[in-house]
């Protein structure tokens, strides 16, 4: 089972992808996390990635494609995966389709989490993320129980360096110009499942599970 989670920065796709992956027993592959891990290695490639991320632009396709496809070919991905943040443009779509076709596989569904632009800006500008387990919090709508500490693991909460007002605007622009065309592409392919992304994390999560159940992907 190969499912893509599609949505703007701040749509909640990362949170939802992680919980649906747990529920379905699939690997969760977040391109942003893979790229951040590459930065941690501290080499020249890492510096290039970091510069793109801080500007809010996409890293080079070749690189994103290589990092993600390598991960998708790992043994824990044989039953399928949930892809989060990839593909992000039509070039990446093509590379993914080709790689899956070589293994006689294909994308089954694309879960598109739709959120208004106004709400996206609000969410991103108050976002805090656990340094340890990547859980997100929002200073107004979902603050942690203890200031600066993760409710789940006690880890330290930090701002993502690309959540500054300036970079947020750029990331949204990149999303609308480069990634949003994928919505039409997957609609035409009959694969798009659109889910309203406003409401609580649990509400959105149950909408996603309902949409997937409607496609008889999950017994239930």
Residues in contact with ligand ADP by the rule CB under 6 A: 9, 31-32, 35, 52-53, 56-59, 64, 85-86, 88, 92, 162, 171
Residue nearer to ligand ADP on the CB measure, 32 or 80? 32
23: left (phi over 0), alpha (psi -120 to 50) or beta: alpha
- Residue 192 interacts, among Zn ion, ligand ADP, none and using kind-specific CB cut-offs from 5 to 8 Å, with none
Q: What is the bridge-based pairing of β-strands 157-158 and 127-130?
A: antiparallel
178/136 Cα distance (integer angstroms): 25
127 part of the active site: yes
Which two tokens mark 2? Answer: 């190969």
Shortest Cβ 60–ligand ADP spacing (Å):
7
Shortest Cβ 204–Zn ion spacing (Å):
20
Q: Is the peptide bond before 87 cis (omega within 30 degrees of 0)?
A: yes
Which two tokens mark 44? Answer: 């020249």
- Strand-pairing partners, residue 27, are 81
Which two tokens mark 135? Answer: 């859980």
Should residue 33 be labelled a site residue for Zn ion when binding is judged by CB under 5 A? no
129 membership: H or E segment, kind and range: strand 127-130
Should residue 146 be labelled a site residue for Zn ion when binding is judged by CB under 5 A? no
Should residue 157 be labelled a site residue for Zn ion when binding is judged by CB under 5 A? no
Residue nearer to Zn ion on the CB measure, 146 or 152? 152
36 part of the active site: no
Handedness of CA 4, 55, 47, 161 (dihedral sign): negative
| Half-sphere exposure (Cβ direction) of 5: Cα atoms closer than 13 Å | 31
Q: Which of 46, 126, 143, 155 binds Zn ion (CB under 5 A)?
A: 155
Shortest Cβ 18–Zn ion spacing (Å):
12
- Binding part of the chain for Zn ion, among 53-61, 88-96, 147-155, 170-178 by CB under 5 A, reads 147-155
Shortest Cβ 52–ligand ADP spacing (Å):
5
Q: Return the active site residues.
A: 13, 88, 127, 160, 171
């Amino acid at each position: 089972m190969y499912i893509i989670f599609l949505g703007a920065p701040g749509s909640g796709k990362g949170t939802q992808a992680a919980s649906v992956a747990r529920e379905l027993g699939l690997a969760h592959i977040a391109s942003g996390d893979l790229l951040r891990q590459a930065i941690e290695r501290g080499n020249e490639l890492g510096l290039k990635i970091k510069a793109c991320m801080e500007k809010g632009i996409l890293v080079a396709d070749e690189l994103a494609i290589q990092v993600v496809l390598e991960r998708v070919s790992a043994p824990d991905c044989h039953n399928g995966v949930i892809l989060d943040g990839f593909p992000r443009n039509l070039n990446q779509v093509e590379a993914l389709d080709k790689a899956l076709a070589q293994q006689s596989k294909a994308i089954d569904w694309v879960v598109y989490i739709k959120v208004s632009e106004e709400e996206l800006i609000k969410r991103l500008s108050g976002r805090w993320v656990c340094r340890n387990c990547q859980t997100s919090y929002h200073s107004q709508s979902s603050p942690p129980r203890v200031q600066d500490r993760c409710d789940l693991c006690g880890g330290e909460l930090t701002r993502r360096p690309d959540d500054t007002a300036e970079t947020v605007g750029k990331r949204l622009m990149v999303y609308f110009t480069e990634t949003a065309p994928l919505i039409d592409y997957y609609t035409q392919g009959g694969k798009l499942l659109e889910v309203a992304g406003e409401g609580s994390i649990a509400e959105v999560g149950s909408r996603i599970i309902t949409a997937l159940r409607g496609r008889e992907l999950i017994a239930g």
